[in-house]
Amino acid sequence: MKSLSGAEIRQSYIDFFKSKGHTFVRSASLVPGGDQTILFTNAGMVQFKDVFLGTDKRPYTRAANSQKCMRVAGKHNDLEDVGRDDTHHTFFEMLGNWSFGDYYKNEAIEWAWELLTEVWEVPSEKLWTTYFLDDKGDIPADNEAKEYWKTQKGMNPDHVLAGGRKDNFWEMAETGPCGPCSEIHIDRGPEYCDKAGVPGHVCQVNGDCKRYLELWNLVFIQYNRLNASTLEPLPAKHVDTGMGLERIVSIMQGVTSNYLTDLLSPLMKTVQTLAGHNEKQMQKNFTPYRVIADHARATTFLIADGVVPGNTGRNYITRMIIRRASRFGGKLGLNKSFLADVADSVIEQYGEAYPELVKNRKTILDNITREESRFHRTIESGMGQLEDYINDLKVKNLTRLDGERAFELYATHGLPLELTRDILQEQGLTVDEEGFKGAMDDHRIASGAGKAMGEMGGEDVSIYSSILDDLTAKAKLSLAGVLFDPYSKMNIEGEILAIVKNGLPVEEAVAGEEVEIVLPETCFYIESGGQVADRGKIVTSGDTDIFSVVDVRKPAAGIIIHIGKVEQGKIKVGDKITAKVDSARRQDIRRNHTATHLLHAELHKVIGKHALQAGSMVSPDRLRFDFNHPEAVTTEQLELIEAGVNQNILENYKLEIKERSLQDAMKEGATALFGEKYGEVVRTVVIGNQEPISFELCGGTHVAETGDIGLFLITSEGSTAAGVRRIEAVTGRAAYALVQQRTKLLKQSAALMQTSQEELPAKIELVLSESDNRKKQASLYKAKLAEYEFQKQLMNVQVKNGASVYGGLIPEVDLDTLRLLSDLFKDKYPSGAVILATVIDGKPSIVVSISDDLIKRGLNAGEIARAAAQVVGGNGGGRPNLAQAGGKDALKIDEAIATAIKIVNEKL
Ligand SMILES: [Zn+2]
Ligand SMILES: [Zn+2]
């Protein structure tokens, strides 16, 4: 086998497929974009799923990549095995090549074989392959793949084996794209068998010992599964292959463990240096070494993709992995933060192939170290508590720790479930994992933290709670925390109470730095009820120091942060400041919010009471409103709705906003939104005089009178989900800009058509019908011209044994014309054979026509068309008297005609 480094193997894979016309596609993020069904990208095909489903298109039809994958949660969860053996990883790389309706089995098999045996020089006699043979006998066997494999250079036909549904049939899900697959296995030799002494054991492909290893899986997607028993052939067939990088590298480098390849051995080396171990000590502690190397690599890639340690979802995984690595470090005597050093080796090792690691180096290392210190602060008390629980179990002769206690270890002492499980396992004990999840859910609901934590992307909020504790202790804040009043004023004066940078409190920030600021009070709106957060500025007196606010959030109860950047000067804790909301922007938002209420009311009037709000977005430049309605809103209805809203704007109703008890509000007929939570006291927004036209519970900001909205224009209507419609609209300044833009377009169009704006539609109709007539005329002339050209060519008709034979090229006509001309030939020469060819858009087409008497003499138009098609690299066929062919290679068109003529002449 060729001697290559891991990086070279990755690169040569990509280069090889590039040389076969593939586009190199960068690895997708570990966080799958838009795919809610999985936590992490876990295979190369994740980023192409929509292409296979036919809902997305790419500018290429052949792709190759090396995909970052995580298998640590859900169905594919390898965590428990990681560290205990040589092959399992949380993070790994998957090499793949893809055909989207382009090449198929023949090329996929030929190239896989060529790469392995010729480029990488893997001895062909060690390789085995499989093809699909249905064990249930329902789906046709993949004999194509079988034949292709058997004819590869150096392939021993006895090494091509059949396999059933388990190993050789791939399905994306219970329905959808699927198809047979072929695996390539390598025989590592009898010395790798770990079941040699087991009675009855036979080493075999897909067997149960370590002698044969699967290297590569080639999936041929050719069916669409409609239900459990029905497959329909796909119009376009695809190829999807996957090869684990770590495995092929371990094979080519001749090592017994993935951790001994040059991909991971530098990380092991770093751990060894940190631990001060000699070779023998390292061998003795191989499990902690493997855990640390694997977890450091996973953590580095996760943080580079934005998954920082946190309490929920993906962020929890990063936290858990760091803590698990940290605990295994403890087994090597590494009791201080050390993981950043290993992560640094990861960046060095992988930075060239994955530049995002280098770019985010500081963030990665900082986050790891910070998480390790958090863990160290609590680990001792947590371990002590767990020790007590273990003793308690042993005294009571129990083997399972209950979920409540496991959750308490996590919530109070920061000990993730996975660590508790590890520690218990080492003592032969288990933990109730279901009970843990239940306790966690109960806790979330009780504390009302579920949603807030989700919105913060799992960011650790303990820093904000400690800021709040600190500020209340110093009497800088009341127990209620930061005051929130976005309604009565647009500016407030105050003092900077705290500054947070990258999750840590700092004393000051200078120009260019992105930080979060805490004030005693704020007039900035926080995104809620669909209305976006305010923007604006925080300035010191005389505007010497300027901080621009781009977002405002409530990360923990009682704390509000202004997120943004120091634009000028320097801000420090204790500075006296003025916070100013961008008032023009806020006024645009107010117009859109009040217009949303008017739209909601008008929808009820025009299409019915069932049109309840299903979602809403109010931003400065537009509003978006989703509502329940089973069908598209008609143009007439939209016109009525738009007119109704504008009428209510002209009425210039005053808005009446007040707080009342929820009970009173509901009694008076307020519209509450389904799924929203309301407190005891609610804010109500009423529009209209005696008989209110809109009465909603709403915490948003509104105009004083409807006339302030100016103008309301609907810009689109469409569907977002089954039974849910969406209307988008603009108001005020954006509506005026839209009218201006449309008027300008109208003026330009009228000028281009040399008419007035009023006459424009009639003029366009006229021009269109004229152009239509011209097209008809032109194609008529073209056909005439072709016929004339053809008549001239007919001087060259040959006569052989009484039959007239002609073959020729008619430039740039369509297939219909070719058929027309061949009929013309038939009329003129009742006994004859004609082959006519043309090139349309660079693609050759051929029509073959044979008179009936010549068919009796052995001529067949279909056969001739097929032979001609082969010359131009395409397909052909048809009836014995009329057939056609198409191909790709226009340069060979003359050769194709000559081939067809030759067949005709031979038979006559
Ligand atoms: Zn064996
Ligand atoms: Zn509202």
- Between the CA of 888 and the centroid of ligand 1 the distance, in Å, is 51
Q: Is the pLDDT of residue 676 over 70?
A: no
Q: How far is CA 540 from CA 190, 354, 506, 571, in A?
A: 78, 43, 18, 8
**Cα–Cα distance for residue pair 695/698, rounded to 1 Å:** 9
Q: What is the pLDDT of residue 503?
A: 80
- For the CA of 616, the nearest ligand: 2
- Between the CA of 594 and the centroid of ligand 2 the distance, in Å, is 7
Q: How far is CA 713 from CA 651, 716, 727, 732, in A?
A: 17, 9, 11, 9
- For the CA of 525, the nearest ligand: 2
Q: How confident is the model at residue 73 (pLDDT cuts 50, 70, 90)?
A: low
Q: For residue 12, what is the enclosing H or E element?
A: helix 6-19
Q: What percent of the chain has pLDDT over 90?
A: 61
- Between the CA of 529 and the centroid of ligand 2 the distance, in Å, is 7
Q: Give the strand pairing for 483-484 and 521-522.
A: parallel
- Of 347, 339, 351, nearest to 295 by C-alpha is 339
- Of 905, 798, 901, 888, nearest to 845 by C-alpha is 888
Higher pLDDT, 32 or 677: 32
- For the CA of 212, the nearest ligand: 1
- For the CA of 531, the nearest ligand: 2
- Between the CA of 700 and the centroid of ligand 2 the distance, in Å, is 5
Q: How far is CA 114 from CA 107, 123, 130, 351, 894, in A?
A: 10, 11, 17, 29, 35
Residue 160 in contact with residue 109, Cβ under 8 Å?
Answer: no
Q: Give the strand pairing for 576-581 and 536-540.
A: antiparallel
Q: What is the pLDDT of residue 464?
A: 82
Q: What is the pLDDT of residue 704?
A: 95
**Cα–Cα distance for residue pair 818/824, rounded to 1 Å:** 10
Q: What are the tens digits of pLDDT across the range 487-517?
A: 999 999 999 999 998 888 899 999 999 999 9
Q: What is the DSSP letter of 729?
A: E
Q: How many CB atoms lie within 10 A of CB 840?
A: 14
- Between the CA of 187 and the centroid of ligand 1 the distance, in Å, is 10
Q: What percent of the chain has pLDDT over 70?
A: 95
**Cα–Cα distance for residue pair 843/267, rounded to 1 Å:** 55
- For the CA of 203, the nearest ligand: 1
Q: How far is CA 830 from CA 568, 801, 833, 854, in A?
A: 92, 14, 9, 10
- Between the CA of 208 and the centroid of ligand 1 the distance, in Å, is 7
Q: How confident is the model at residue 445 (pLDDT cuts 50, 70, 90)?
A: low
- For the CA of 613, the nearest ligand: 2
- Mean pLDDT, the chain, rounded, equals 89
Helices (H) and strands (E) in the chain, counts: 27, 36
Q: What is the DSSP letter of 688?
A: S
Angle between helices 815-828 and 760-793 (to 10 degrees): 40
- For the CA of 211, the nearest ligand: 1
**Cα–Cα distance for residue pair 739/736, rounded to 1 Å:** 5
Q: Is the pLDDT of residue 674 over 60?
A: no
- For the CA of 204, the nearest ligand: 1
Q: For residue 519, what is the enclosing H or E element?
A: none
- Between the CA of 265 and the centroid of ligand 1 the distance, in Å, is 28
**Cα–Cα distance for residue pair 548/651, rounded to 1 Å:** 38
Residue 807 in contact with residue 835, Cβ under 8 Å?
Answer: yes
For the sheet containing 724-731, what is the strand order? 613-618, 623-628, 724-731, 712-721
**Cα–Cα distance for residue pair 903/596, rounded to 1 Å:** 75
- For the CA of 673, the nearest ligand: 2
Q: What are the tens digits of pLDDT across the range 392-424?
A: 999 888 999 999 899 888 877 778 888 899 899
- For residue 94, list its beta bridge partners: 67, 244
Q: Give the strand pairing for 62-70 and 91-100.
A: antiparallel
**Cα–Cα distance for residue pair 856/908, rounded to 1 Å:** 11
Q: What is the pLDDT of residue 454?
A: 30
**Cα–Cα distance for residue pair 39/761, rounded to 1 Å:** 54
- Between the CA of 528 and the centroid of ligand 2 the distance, in Å, is 10
End-to-end CA distance of the chain: 58
Q: What are the tens digits of pLDDT across the range 692-701?
A: 899 998 889 9
Lowest mean pLDDT among 612-626, 654-668, 767-781, 838-852: 654-668
Q: What is the pLDDT of residue 36?
A: 53
Higher pLDDT, 369 or 49: 369
- Between the CA of 156 and the centroid of ligand 1 the distance, in Å, is 21
Q: How confident is the model at residue 811 (pLDDT cuts 50, 70, 90)?
A: confident
Q: What is the pLDDT of residue 358?
A: 92
Q: How far is CA 291 from CA 295, 324, 429, in A?
A: 6, 8, 21
Lowest mean pLDDT among 120-129, 195-204, 540-549, 553-562: 553-562
Q: What is the mean pLDDT of residues 236-247?
A: 94
- Between the CA of 213 and the centroid of ligand 1 the distance, in Å, is 11
pTM of the model: 0.53
- Between the CA of 486 and the centroid of ligand 2 the distance, in Å, is 14
Q: Is the pLDDT of residue 677 over 80?
A: no
3-state helix, strand, coil in the chain (%, to 5): 45, 25, 30
Q: What is the DSSP letter of 345?
A: H
Higher pLDDT, 719 or 565: 565
- Between the CA of 688 and the centroid of ligand 2 the distance, in Å, is 15
Residue 54's Cβ-count burial label (10 Å; 0-12, 13-18, 19+) is middle
- Between the CA of 696 and the centroid of ligand 2 the distance, in Å, is 7
Q: Is the pLDDT of residue 316 over 70?
A: yes
- Between the CA of 242 and the centroid of ligand 1 the distance, in Å, is 25
- For the CA of 528, the nearest ligand: 2
- Of 460, 541, 465, nearest to 496 by C-alpha is 541
Q: What is the pLDDT of residue 452?
A: 28
- Between the CA of 207 and the centroid of ligand 1 the distance, in Å, is 8
- For the CA of 617, the nearest ligand: 2
Q: What are the tens digits of pLDDT across the range 459-470?
A: 455 678 788 878
Distance of alpha carbon 787 from the chain centroid:
55
Q: Is the pLDDT of residue 442 over 60?
A: yes
Q: Is the pLDDT of residue 29 over 90?
A: no
Contacts of 474 (CB under 8 A, 6+ apart): none
Q: How confident is the model at residue 379 (pLDDT cuts 50, 70, 90)?
A: confident
Q: What is the pLDDT of residue 673?
A: 60
Q: What are the tens digits of pLDDT across the range 209-225?
A: 989 999 999 999 999 88
Q: What are the tens digits of pLDDT across the range 567-595?
A: 999 999 999 999 999 999 999 999 999 99
Q: Is 5 left (phi over 0), alpha (psi -120 to 50) or beta?
A: beta
